[in-house]
Structure formats: structure tokens, C-alpha cells
Homo-oligomer: A and B are copies of this chain.
Amino acid sequence: MMERFHTLRFQPQGATARVPAGISVFEAAGWVGITIDSTCGGRGTCAKCRVRLLAGELPPTEADRRSFSAAELSRGWRIACRSRLGEVPLVLEIEVPALATKPKAALLGHGRHVVLAPCVQLRHLVLTPPTLEDQTADLSRLRRALPDLELEVPLAVLRTLPAVLRAAAFELTAVVVGHRLVAVEPGDTSAQHFGLALDLGTTTIVAAVIDLTSGEIVALGSALNDQERFGSDVISRISHAMETRTGMAQLRETVLASINELLVHLLGSASLSGERVYHAMVAGNSTMLHLLLAVDADALALVPFTPAFSEPLDLAAREVGLAIHSEARIETFPLLGAYVGADIVAGVLATGIGRDDRNCLLIDIGTNGEIVLGTPTRILAAAAPAGPAFEGAEIRCGMLATDGAIEAVRMGKTVELEIIGGAPEARGICGSGLADAVAGLLKAGLLDSSGRLKRRDEAPDHPLCDRLVAIDGMPAFRLAEAVELTQLDLRALQNAKGAIAAGVQLLLADAGLQAQQLDEILLTGSFGTYIDPASAQAIGLVPPVGSERVIAAGNSSLEGAKMALLSFREKQLANGLAETIEYVELSGRADFNQAFTDSLAFPVPGAVA
């Protein structure tokens, strides 16, 4: 197998990072949770991130020559953030000096340790006022005080600059995101500032307002995406945009209203002004991002399924329409394709897939099942056409995971239900309940591996036999007074899990791996947060590995957005992921149909751990 990654062993910690080209030594340390001293956070201005090369070759950079004597260079001293790893894979051993101060860090994502270095910088400045001897223009005066930045200055900020400078005797705070001056404020306002992490789902919008100085979440909440009015899946939304002249504008305004209402609520609950939120990281599927920005999405829905853009975008809040500071930067994660979107890239960031020497599978189950397989040398991703069964759609009594939904089922001689909101009567069943119910029916012998549900006369002695009913002449199983699973529902679930399992099978084959070689299977998305890993395995949704290796990883997309907010290095990594991840299109492949047919059967109970 061709080695495509650099191997960096850090001492005295003894941790090994495997990183692709383009990453700096400083960043590579961060990948394995090792912090190197730095004041500027790796932006290349403080020259404090000194490390020493113990083994391997790493030619000195310009920065190294400026910072070290010839003797120091030959002893291996290097500036870590300026040493970028090239195309030829290296094996290096690197000594990291003890930290002078303990940096602030946060534990985010799937056990990821992130050193706080937010994309937003607040620079408190005291400028010398102009005189007849120094008539330097206000903007040039500001630039002079920020020699390490080459700022792009929006007209709106330039308009306020003279008054802001003179409001507090040329003492001000410059708010910078990336290379953009987002705001200037009189006096010192650098003590607190906020960011917004946003996961934009077809059904649900989740937002977190984060204190960027501490890394703490100050408000977290979710709302339904009111675009639901125009159809529950992405295809019907795109159709709406295509078919009516004002369709796109309606869709955009609708989702913006949903987001902004949620924002008002969250900011209100934390007694915060949106004017103090200077940065947002937006994850979401490809269609949702197109519709949020009113970018023509027709081609996403038609063969050959082409997005208008796949690169990360960097826009002003006023352009997007988000109700935070009007010049705040709104950044989106890159997309991999029409059906593997920015949410998956954010999830890969949050779970650290592909950053170590383990084989790890990430499954995000929604309308499509998005699958990512990370190995020590490759990251593969695909979208399996699972349909929305696990979201409760196409299921007779299916519903979203809201009040009244059966979210867990335990089946033995009786049937025990857990209902969301503690209602006495179930109104329907959501994805995690469905997985439990199917797993229970298989174990109880009422559903065979071909997916056929027994009729009452075929299991007359079974303790649950009187729950076997007929609805419109079709076999069904009654879970509650008003909630039945029909044979048709079970077929829909079978198709859904078959599509996902087939996708997994193809990615494993492409990577030359057996299922048993998987070290970890992470289930994400709102469904993945609640599904019982044992049920996921019992119905054959995930491959047969030890059940301790199947983990519900929560909303990894939102976690990725939070990480990118809190660390510009993590954001850079995420932006590079679209280059690193190999997107595998399943819809054109003959072997996918074969794998799907092979994957339709449910596992025989007890055959796996």
C-alpha cells in the first residue's frame, strides 16, 4: 500500500500523528492533542512554537533562519507553525518543549481536544492621534497598528471608522475574522465575544451560541425547518424552487425565518445582543446550503447530481441574511457532492476519522445514509439511497422524534415502550423505536430474515400472538393502541438498512478491508444519537463487529461546527478535507445493486455478538 501520510512522533509524550501534505508540524501536534507553546495560535507571528527535530529530515524555512543561529538550526530547532509538510511523506521524531503557560482548551466532538484559537480575533489598540506632522489616514493608521494582518475592510466598517476612533481618543477594539475587519468598536471590548455553530438539516435546525473566550456554550437549541411546508425531503424542496418563479426566494426566506427565530430565542435566553456574534460556522446537507444562499439547486436533483459549489464559502451575515452582526463572517464547510454534504465534512472533523491508524466507519442516517470510512491511508465517503424510513417517513405510524413518539421498544413476553415526553399513549414511532421494534420482532421469531412478518395463525402459541393483526388485509404488529408496524413498513426499513449496508460493503471492498477489521462504528445524526447500537446491529444496519465498537456519536455535524469556531486550525483542516476524502458515487455502479440484493436479508438472531 502506498504511503500517503507523514508520520510524526512527538516526544516526550510518545504520541504519533499521521497527517497529509500541507499540514504544519504545529497542526500535526494538535491532531493528537499535543499543545505547542504559542501566543499567536499558530498564525506565524509570535515565533514561540519552537520544537526540536530528533530524527528525520526537515529543511529549515525562512522563519527558521530568522529565528535561530546556525548552531541551533543544526541541533534541529524549528518554528513548528512555519514547517509545512510537503508531498513526499516523511517520518519524523520531534521534541516538544514543556509549555510555559497552560493554554485554554475544550473537549469537543468525539473525544477531541481542541486548543482555543478562535477564528475571531479581538485586538485592543491604542493609536496615536493624528497631528499636522502625521496626517496619516484613519485606515492606514489602523493598519499600521496591525502589521501582521493584511486586512480587507468592508465599506460599512470604513464608514464608521473615523467616528469610532474619535469616540474614545483613538482607543479601540478591532474585530478580525480571517483577513477581514468585521467591526471597530470604541475602547476595549475584547473581554467577551461569541460565535454561532449551526447545523442546517432538512427537518431540524440546531444552533449553539459559543463564548469564544472560554469555549463554553451559552445557548443551545433546535427548531424545525419550516421549509417542511414545501415538502419533507430535499427533492420536493428543489422541485418547488424549480417550478415556481418565486419558489427559491420563498425557500430562502422560510429557512432564514426559522434560523433567525431560533437565534432570537437563544440570544434572548442568554441576554446577549446578536451584535456581539461575529462568526458563524454552518454545516448542513448540500441542498440546505444551496437553498439558504438562494443558489440555483436544480442540478442537485437531476442526473448527474452536480452541486453549484463544493468549496467552503465565506460570506457576510448581511449577504446571507443571518440576524447577527451584519458584517459577521458566515463560513460553510466544503461539500463532497450533491448527497454528501457539509454536514458530513463537519462530522469527519468532529470524529477525527482518518487522523489515526484505526479503521473507523461513520454512518449518518437521514433521507440518505451517508457513510464515511477512514483507514490509516484513505478516507472514503458515499451516499446510500436509503430513503427516509429511519426518519419516520414512508412508515404508516412513523413520526419525527418529538412528543408522543415511541423512541425505545423492549420485547420479551410483553412489549415495553418508552414514549418521548412521557405521554401515556403513543402517537407514533420514530427511528430509534423502529430499530428496536424490528430487532425485537427478529429475536421473538415473529419476523424472519427474509423480512416476512408472521400472521397470527402462523404463531398461535407466541406470547405476543394477539399483537399480530391485519390492516387492510396486510399483516401488521400492534405496538400500542394507535401504533402498528405493517409488512409494508418492514419492507421500507429493510430497503433502507439494505442500502446502507450495501454502501458500507462497497466502501470496505474499495478499501480492501473486512468488516471485522473495523475498530469503531460511529452512528451520527439525530437518529444516530438515540439508536440503541445493539438494535442497529441486530437489524443488520451496521456490520457484525463486537457491539462495544458501535457507538452513538451524537450530532457530530454541530460538534464539527463548534470545533471550527473555536480553532482556526481545525477550520483549515476541515476546509482541506474535501481534497483528502475520496467521494465514491454509488448510483452508477453495477456492484451496488448486487450488494444491495445481498444486504436485504435481516441477520439471523444470535448469529453475531
Q: Kindly identify, within residues 134 to 154 of chain A, every residue whose CB is under 8 Å from any CB belonging to chain B.
A: 134-140
Q: Are A130 and B319 in contact (CB under 8 A)?
A: no
Residues on B with C-beta less than 8 A from A588 are 132-133
C-alpha spacing A295/B158, complex, angstroms: 7
Interface range on chain A (Cβ under 8 Å from partner): 35 or more
Q: Which of A161-169, A342-350, A444-452, A521-529 contacts B (4 or more CB under 8 A)?
A: A161-169
Q: Are B295 and A159 in contact (CB under 8 A)?
A: yes
A137-B335, A138-B299, A337-B135 known; A158+B306 contact, CB < 8 A: no
Q: Decide yes or no whether A587 CB sits under 8 A from chain B.
A: yes
A139-B309, A139-B311, A585-B132 known; A162+B304 contact, CB < 8 A: no
Q: Are B155 and A319 in contact (CB under 8 A)?
A: yes
Q: Kindly identify, within residues 273 to 298 of chain A, every residue whose CB is under 8 Å from any CB belonging to chain B.
A: 293-298
C-alpha spacing A377/B245, complex, angstroms: 63
Copy number of this protein in the oligomer?
2
From DSSP, what is the main secondary structure of chain A's interface residues?
loop
Q: Are A155 and B306 in contact (CB under 8 A)?
A: no
Q: Are B135 and A311 in contact (CB under 8 A)?
A: no
Q: Are B294 and A135 in contact (CB under 8 A)?
A: no
Q: Decide yes or no whether A303 CB sits under 8 A from chain B.
A: yes
Q: Decide yes or no whether A428 CB sits under 8 A from chain B.
A: no
**Of the candidates B130, B293, B303, B306, which one forms a contact with A136 in the assembled complex, judged by CB atoms under 8 Å apart?**
B306
**Of the candidates B135, B166, B304, which one forms a contact with A305 in the assembled complex, judged by CB atoms under 8 Å apart?**
B135
For the complex formed, measure the closest distance between the CB of A256 and the CB atoms of chain B, giving whole angstroms. Answer: 14
Residues on B with C-beta less than 8 A from A311 are 137, 139-140
Q: Decide yes or no whether A131 CB sits under 8 A from chain B.
A: yes
Q: Decide yes or no whether A310 CB sits under 8 A from chain B.
A: yes
Q: Are B585 and A135 in contact (CB under 8 A)?
A: yes
Scoring A137, A138, A303 by chain B CB atoms within 10 A of each residue's CB, the highest score goes to: A137
**Of the candidates B136, B297, B304, B319, which one forms a contact with A132 in the assembled complex, judged by CB atoms under 8 Å apart?**
B304
Q: Decide yes or no whether A307 CB sits under 8 A from chain B.
A: yes
Q: What residue of chain B has the Cβ atom nearest to residue A303's Cβ?
A: B132
Q: Are A162 and B585 in contact (CB under 8 A)?
A: no
Interface string of A205-238 (1 = CB under 8 A from B): 0000000000000000000000000000000000
- A residues apposed to B, CB below 8 Å: 130-140, 155, 158-163, 166, 293-299, 303-311, 313, 315, 319, 335, 337-338, 583, 585, 587-588
User: Can you give 19 contacting A-B residue pairs, CB < 8 Å?
Assistant: A130-B299, A130-B306, A132-B585, A133-B588, A134-B304, A135-B306, A135-B337, A137-B307, A137-B308, A137-B311, A137-B335, A138-B306, A138-B308, A155-B315, A155-B319, A158-B295, A158-B308, A160-B296, A161-B296
